[in-house]
Structure 1
Amino acid sequence: MDGTGVGVHVVCPGVVATEFHEVQGMDLSAVPRMSADDVVAAAQAGIALGEGVIAPGLEDYSLLDEVFRADLAAFGGQSPKLASRYQG
């Protein structure tokens, strides 16, 4: 937020190798997981790069731009009227 000294960042790491799922009784040993240390390193690097959204496992950052554009298009396509597919 310009001029306030406050920054906002979102970190989207996917599945992280912690005890979170194990405590829930889930076995994710077969699922590729990122280490917590890698998530922290990526978050710090993303902040230094000025990224608002940090996706540690995403090699092609332009894919996020595509998601953002699609989200804005969907938001802009909203109407205050009920879509015809939901009308009985």
Structure 2
Amino acid sequence: VTYFTRQGYQSYKLYKDASEEYDHYKMKYESLSDQYNNSEFNYYYTKAELSHLEMTGAFNDFQINTGGLALVYSINLAEIIQSWIIFSK
């Protein structure tokens, strides 16, 4: 449980940081889209793409860790219900 919680929290923090970077770089390259400075546009566009990939990977890791945590808790809940049924007879 601790592993999934810790990893999930780290994935969430990484997702939030990458999301902020993505928004920043996206705003920069969108503001440069109508100008003739292609090198600066390409720089920010590439940074936005990399931030988006990092954000997507972190979100996928977060989903996996959340699913693992839910699985552990559902197994524990099933054992509690089974014990309750056995001892209530």
Q: TM-score, normalised by structure 2?
A: 0.26
Of Structure 1 and Structure 2, which has the larger fraction of its residues in strand?
Answer: 1
Of Structure 1 and Structure 2, which has the larger fraction of its residues in helix?
Answer: 2
For the pair shown, the structure with the greater C-alpha radius of gyration is 2
Q: TM-score, normalised by structure 1?
A: 0.26
* Larger relative contact order (Cα-Cα within 8 Å, sequence gap ≥ 6): 2
